[in-house]
Amino acid sequence: MLNLAPSTALPTGTLRDVSLLVVNAHEAADLLGASIGDRSPVQIARAVRQLGPHAAVVSFGERGLAAATPETEWFEPARRVDARDTTGAGDALVGVTAAALADGVDLATALRRGSAAAAVAVQRDGASASMPTRAEIDAELSRRPREPT
């Protein structure tokens, strides 16, 4: 799993060795070398995946995230919260997703957990201080998710 944050140039062919690439929309635009303005989130995730990783996830902040694997593509809406500080959101998403994958859950479930963790984290100030516990993530997952916009 590679979280290419901040965005940086990679040696040619590096992404072919990546099982799961996670980037935000700005990093996706850097990788693609073009504006992503009028493409859908799923189209952007698909384009990032076509750069070589087995699977790609692109986060779009308060909008949600999109994922593309060889088998499927989907959009996961963000959870509705009142954000105070987004500093640790990406770290929460990536860390909790990685932990869930290590526990053996499928990518879609892992990303829902990561998204819930990010939703909890943005409601607090700071980066490391905002990281949620497993119980807080479970509580967030029990709430009704945000409707797609």
What is the 3-state secondary structure of 38-67? Answer: CCCHHHHHHHHHCCCCCEEEEECHHHEEEE
Do 84 and 74 fall into the same domain?
A: no
Q: Using CA atoms, how far apart are residues 99 and 101, in angstroms rounded to an integer?
A: 5
pLDDT at 121 over 80: yes
Do 61 and 126 fall into the same domain?
A: no
Do 74 and 7 fall into the same domain?
A: yes
Do 64 and 29 fall into the same domain?
A: yes
| 149 lies in some domain | no
Total number of domains in the chain:
2
Cα atoms found within 13 Å of the Cα of residue 99, Cβ hemisphere only: 14
Give the bridge partners for 66, in sequence order: 58, 75
Do 48 and 34 fall into the same domain?
A: yes
Do 10 and 69 fall into the same domain?
A: yes
Do 67 and 6 fall into the same domain?
A: yes
Do 60 and 116 fall into the same domain?
A: no
Nearest Cα to 56, choosing from 8, 102, 92, 66? 66
Mean pLDDT in residue range 108-129: 88
57-92 burial string, b = 16+ CB within 10 Å, else e? bbbbbbbbbbbbbeeebebbbbbebeeeeebbbbbb
| CATH for 5 | 3.40.1620.20
Q: Using CA atoms, how far apart are residues 94 and 47, in angstroms rounded to an integer?
A: 20
Spatial CB neighbours of 109, under 8 Å, sequence gap ≥ 6: 100
Per-residue pLDDT of 84-112, as tens digits, reads 888 889 999 999 999 999 999 999 999 99
pLDDT at 123: 86
List the catalytic residues: 91
Per-residue pLDDT of 14-72, as tens digits, reads 999 999 999 999 999 999 987 787 899 999 999 999 999 999 999 999 899 999 999 99
Who has greater pLDDT, 147 or 84?
84
- Identify the domain boundary among 45, 63, 78: 78
pLDDT at 92: 93
- Identify the domain boundary among 35, 56, 78: 78
**Peptide bond before residue 148 is cis, with ω within 30 degrees of 0:** no
Torsion, Cα 118 121 123 126, to 10 degrees, reads -130
| 115 lies in some domain | yes
Do 72 and 120 fall into the same domain?
A: no
Q: 3-state class of 135 per DSSP?
A: helix
Containing structural domain, residue 109: 79-144
Do 49 and 121 fall into the same domain?
A: no
Do 19 and 52 fall into the same domain?
A: yes
Do 57 and 105 fall into the same domain?
A: no
pLDDT at 149: 46
Amino acid at 66: A
Which pair of structure tokens corresponds to residue 61?
A: 């902040």
